[in-house]
Structure 1
Amino acid sequence: MLFKLPCLLIVIFSILIPQINTFAIFPGEQASLRSVNAWKPTHTPASPKPSSSPTSTSSPKPSSTSKSPSSPTSSSSPKPSDSTNLSDSGYKNFVYFANWDIYNRSYHVQELPASQITHVLYAFWNVASDGTVSISDPNADLNKQFSVKSWEYDDGKTLYGSLKQLYILKKHNRHLKTLMTVGGWTYSANFPAAASTETTRLKFASDVVTYVRDLGFDGVDIDWEYPSDDTQAADFVLLLAELRKQLDNYAATNAPGYHFLITVACSAGAKNYGKIHLSEMNKYIDNWNLMAYDYSGSWDTHVGHDANLYPSSNMYITPYNTHKAITDYVNAGVTPSKILLGIPLYGRSFVGTTGLGQSFNSVGSGSYENGIWDYKVLPKIGAVEKMDSEAVASYSYDASTQTLISYDNVEVVKKKAEYIRSQSLGGAMFWEASGDKNGKDSLIGTTASAFDKLDTKENLLKYPASKYSNIVAGMPGE
């Protein structure tokens, strides 16, 4: 077997990178966990407090029954997205996979619980002001070798990295669809410019289609955090329309009859979603991934819940609530079955406090960043897990250290699954995969079990125009 020098360099690089890779968190409404590693260029807010916050408006609880790639061109008119019929397609269980997970977290695509999820959203791609969409970590995404055997078939046009593993995963799980996520908190700064002209929108959409074509995706997830005025909101609609048009054109030539997906990560804060054109966007969006978390944190003065479903009688405890956001989205013209309720696979901590609604001294340490703990390590030893039935939220408290951690447990997620069904929503979404537990305590598994039926629509495996020979061939032998 011949080992090429570039391959050896890739191996060395992949060994060294974890030593310098660190996950940076930048507080922002619904955004703090959607940033990338600190060794990459990042956007840092001027203030530790989110730029805007949802208003605390109580809503009645519902009844239980109630580098740039070469790009395809654009031509025909866009086709609006159809509403989801859950009786036919089943509920969706979306899970984000962050490309930095393979480093310090030692979590890989191969570990995703494929039988319990319907869609994987692979994060993140960057976007430039001219509309160019680019890979954020070539080593993780395209180059990392996961087995020596793979070198035997290298013809110089072979895809490696986590994206190869993602294609293999969907190949062996035909119900599993994959989407590329563009943006996120760190990579959203250039969205306003990228969406502002016909030329930049054409470039953005054609770049996305090229990545879908080359890497074998079933669609794209747009995470623009956040449009700040009416002009940007209107441009967002135009961007989605162009994206829909170009995806349909690609499908007509390369995958007749196949519907490539467009989803959007969206805020649960009224000051953010109140600025976008929800009903117009709904025409082109297959699913709204509602980021129903990060409701309280280091930017606050009092301890609150991270992801409560309903408001509390104590406004300090629930400055946000998910039910209000969903009610507002639906009232604005969003199809309920397109909404996916976001669930965090992490908790937020508060140290030096006597409990909910009280002041705190700091957020303390965390799994990888201060104040943030993976769900899989909660509750911490010595802490007592508690339930807030009014808000439908869970947390743990350690009186000896005066530490409160707000997070979703299995009981809360079961109630959220009931809510999803009662409100005819489309399913659940999780941020992000590496934080979950295994077995009966898995939150991803909890929703999968609670839904009568999961979406089993088949993914796409044929990408004849891909620049990668192993994608064109369908990963033979893998």
Structure 2
Amino acid sequence: MNLKLIVTTVAVACVAMSQAAADKVIGYFPYWSQYSQFYPKDIRYNTVTHIHYSSLTPSEDGSLAFPDENDAPNYDSLAVMCAANNVNLVVSVGGMEAEGALKTIAGSDELLSTFVSNVKEWVGSHNAKGVELDWQNLTAEDAEGYAKMVNALVDAFSGSIVASTMYPYVAMEPYTAEVMNKLSYINVFMPDQMNEDNSSLVPNQGGKFIAETLEKAAGAGIQKDLLNPVVYFYGKSFLGATGFGSSHNGTGSGNEGYLPYKELMGKFDTPDYKVSYDSDSQSEIAVSKEEAIVFMGIPSVKAVAENVKNNGYAGVAVYDLSQDHHEPIVSILVTIGLELRPDVNYKPAKKK
């Protein structure tokens, strides 16, 4: 028996399996996208493998509803287009301010059974491939209820997608390996690092921070090939800042200081901003006479995708689809795809 050959073969197989795991590109489609004039027809479906519709609102009686009934036709269009383009449509349940209802549901076996039945019926009748549980602001006290809800959903959706969000910097206690490793995959959210309360300018996200967050989750025993870091498609502006470590005078341009990535590219077409990449944090900064903008651009997101691919994570999730640039050459989704799904043709279709 050639032991060296066996060891080499196993090593190569392990590397191949690790790289094969990094094949998910997940895009969030929030219900409010309609108000920024972004619709299902505007999505470039070849850039994603999964779309998460965010999100259905649970009530304390276990029922579900659209947060805005005006978006129901958009959801229907999204379901049709996902099916036509072989993209997995997953419905997120929960979200902001839903933790009270989820806690009540998880605290009652009867309500939990009703809730799971309603989720299963909704997913089945609305042409989705599965569900994502988005229980925010979990505490150690919620660990038992969260585990019960995850287990109930996994049992009910045998053969379908059951995913969950994860907020490791809020609390880690509820996210036990025993529970999380039963899921199809996990989208890992992290807090904004730069806010108006910060006295000096720091990166808002960054590849290094994302890598540390993934290591924190994996260090708790959660399988790497289930973890997707969530990359934010927005920058944050601060008046008077001149670079990382400088002071500022509050939020700058944009909607309360928030700027979609696609708008940033328009700003940077002018000579008003000097854009640079910070290799220490793996993030970008743009500085003008009036303000500085911290954001994730092509180099930093490429670093995230490379980390995911090289370390056997599941893929990359993005928040949200409406904020990417439509041109492939500056698209963050295309940047991710070129690393994780290089066989896909990302060139725009020729106009007839």
**Aligned pair 1:202/2:113, yes or no?**
yes
2:336 partner letter: T
1:264 partner letter: S
Task: Specify which of 277, 283, 300 is matched with residue 387 of structure 1.
Answer: 277
Instruction: After TM superposition, give the deviation of residue 188 of structure 1 in Å.
Output: 3.1
1:309 partner letter: G
Instruction: After TM superposition, give the deviation of residue 301 of structure 1 in Å.
Output: 2.7
**Aligned pair 1:280/2:178, yes or no?**
yes
**Aligned pair 1:115/2:46, yes or no?**
yes
**Aligned pair 1:244/2:154, yes or no?**
yes
Equivalent residue, structure 2, for 1:358: 246
Instruction: After TM superposition, give the deviation of residue 408 of structure 1 in Å.
Output: 0.8
Distance 1:131 1:372 in 2: 35
**Aligned pair 1:297/2:208, yes or no?**
no
Instruction: After TM superposition, give the deviation of residue 244 of structure 1 in Å.
Output: 1.2
The root-mean-square deviation of aligned C-alpha atoms, in Å, is 2.0
Distance 1:436 1:95 in 2: 10
Contact 1:292 1:343 survives alignment (8 Å) = no
Q: Give SS of 1:390's match.
A: coil
Task: Specify which of 146, 162, 177 is matched with residue 262 of structure 1.
Answer: 162
1:355 partner letter: G
- Which structure features the higher share of helix residues? 2
Task: Specify which of 60, 66, 71 is matched with residue 129 of structure 1.
Answer: 60
Task: Specify which of 300, 304, 310 is matched with residue 412 of structure 1.
Answer: 300
Contact 2:285 2:292 survives alignment (8 Å) = yes
Residue identity (%): 20
Task: Specify which of 177, 182, 199 is matched with residue 88 of structure 2.
Answer: 177
Q: Give SS of 1:357's match.
A: coil
Distance 2:136 2:343 in 1: 29
Equivalent residue, structure 1, for 2:13: none
Instruction: After TM superposition, give the deviation of residue 216 of structure 1 in Å.
Output: 0.6
Distance 1:227 1:126 in 2: 17
Q: What is the 5 A alignment of 1:319-334? A: 321-334=209-222
Equivalent residue, structure 2, for 1:371: 257
Instruction: After TM superposition, give the deviation of residue 89 of structure 1 in Å.
Output: 6.5
Contact 2:207 2:303 survives alignment (8 Å) = no
Alpha-carbon displacement from aligned partner over 1:189-221 (angstroms, at most 9, x marks no partner):
322222222122212211111110110100111
Q: What is the 5 A alignment of 1:84-99? A: 91-99=23-31
Equivalent residue, structure 2, for 1:150: none
- In 2 relative to 1, CA 276–357 (structure 1 residues): closer, same or farther, beyond 3 Å? farther
Equivalent residue, structure 2, for 1:447: 336
Q: Give SS of 1:190's match.
A: helix
2:91 partner letter: M
Instruction: After TM superposition, give the deviation of residue 278 of structure 1 in Å.
Output: 2.5
Q: More displaced, 206-215 or 178-187?
A: 178-187
Q: What is the 5 A alignment of 1:153-164? A: 161-164=73-76
Instruction: After TM superposition, give the deviation of residue 306 of structure 1 in Å.
Output: 1.2
Q: What is the 5 A alignment of 1:308-323? A: 308-310=206-208, 321-323=209-211
Equivalent residue, structure 1, for 2:348: none
| Aligned length in residues | 324
Structure 1: runs of 5+ lacking an equivalent: 1-84, 142-160, 249-258, 311-320, 456-478
TM-score, normalised by the number of residues in structure 1:
0.64
Instruction: After TM superposition, give the deviation of residue 88 of structure 1 in Å.
Output: 5.8
Alpha-carbon displacement from aligned partner over 1:43-71 (angstroms, at most 9, x marks no partner):
xxxxxxxxxxxxxxxxxxxxxxxxxxxxx
Contact 1:417 1:447 survives alignment (8 Å) = yes
Alpha-carbon displacement from aligned partner over 1:245-270 (angstroms, at most 9, x marks no partner):
1222xxxxxxxxxx21111122242x
Q: Give SS of 2:93's match.
A: strand
Equivalent residue, structure 1, for 2:143: 233
Task: Specify which of 397, 400, 408 is matched with residue 287 of structure 2.
Answer: 397
Distance 2:161 2:301 in 1: 26
Equivalent residue, structure 2, for 1:138: 69
Equivalent residue, structure 2, for 1:348: 236
Instruction: After TM superposition, give the deviation of residue 139 of structure 1 in Å.
Output: 1.5
Task: Specify which of 71, 74, 78 is matched with residue 166 of structure 1.
Answer: 78
Distance 1:130 1:305 in 2: 42
Contact 2:168 2:217 survives alignment (8 Å) = no
Instruction: After TM superposition, give the deviation of residue 426 of structure 1 in Å.
Output: 0.7
Distance 2:112 2:18 in 1: 32
Alpha-carbon displacement from aligned partner over 1:398-449 (angstroms, at most 9, x marks no partner):
1x11x11111111111111111111111110000011000221110111111
Q: Give SS of 2:153's match.
A: helix
2:85 partner letter: N
Distance 2:54 2:24 in 1: 18
- In 2 relative to 1, CA 186–301 (structure 1 residues): closer, same or farther, beyond 3 Å? farther
Alpha-carbon displacement from aligned partner over 1:3-38 (angstroms, at most 9, x marks no partner):
xxxxxxxxxxxxxxxxxxxxxxxxxxxxxxxxxxxx
**TM superposition outliers: structure 1 runs of 4+ over 6 Å:** none
1:184 partner letter: G
